[in-house]
Amino acid sequence: MHPNVLKLLPKRLSEKSSIVFGLLLICLCLIYSIAFANDWYENFEGYQKAVIEHKQTKKPLFVYFYHPHCKYCVEYEKHLLNKDTVQNYLNDFIKVRLLFDSVSSPEGKVAASLGASGTPTVLIKYAKSNNFTRITYSRIKNRRRVI
């Protein structure tokens, strides 16, 4: 074989590998987007999209303010949000999860405008209502035994 052909061979393999890798990556992204299409919206931009979807579809809106260092949030997620019965119930909701770390952040401003003063806070808005229903942690804690 000619030496120039050998120089081209690894390059061609590398191009083919790149194409295969690219196609595989695209397939994985599509599978991920399909699998999590009905999942949670996150952050301020997600909240804005969820509100628009709520108005268009009339599905109830479930807004959850949390902080990763909040022990009650960890408990809430572990003992309630991860339960199959709760997840099945929430399938009918548009779900938003907002990190509440500062009142000056966009998420903090949303929290203040909705009356959320701490974490965890859960607010639910039904299409027929103009107001959010606030579910406090004490109500969440008591429900844990029921659910």
Nearest to 136 by CA among 64, 71, 46: 64
Looking at residue 118, what is its pLDDT? 87
Residue 124, burial from CB neighbour count under 10 angstroms (0-12, 13-18, 19+): middle
Q: How confident is the model at residue 14 (pLDDT cuts 50, 70, 90)?
A: low
Per DSSP bridges, beta strands 94-99 and 61-66 are parallel
Q: Give the Cα-Cα-Cα angle 97, 136, 122 (nearest 5 degrees).
A: 20
Q: Write the CB contacts of 105 (distance below 8 Å, at least 6 apart in sequence).
A: 44, 99
Nearest to 68 by CA among 101, 45, 31: 101
Is pLDDT of 68 > 80? yes
pLDDT, greater one: 145 or 80: 80
Q: How confident is the model at residue 61 (pLDDT cuts 50, 70, 90)?
A: very high
Average pLDDT over every residue of 98-113: 92
pLDDT, greater one: 44 or 27: 44
Looking at residue 80, what is its pLDDT? 87
Task: Check: pTM over 0.85? Answer yes or no.
Answer: no
Strand partners, 134: 123
In whole angstroms, how large is the CA radius of gyration of the chain? 23
Q: What percent of the chain has pLDDT over 70?
A: 66
Is pLDDT of 100 > 60? yes
CB atoms within 10 A of CB 2: 7
Omega within 30 of 0 (cis) for the link into 120: yes
Distance CA 18, CA 126 (A): 48
CB 93 within 8 A of CB 135: no
Is pLDDT of 31 > 60? no
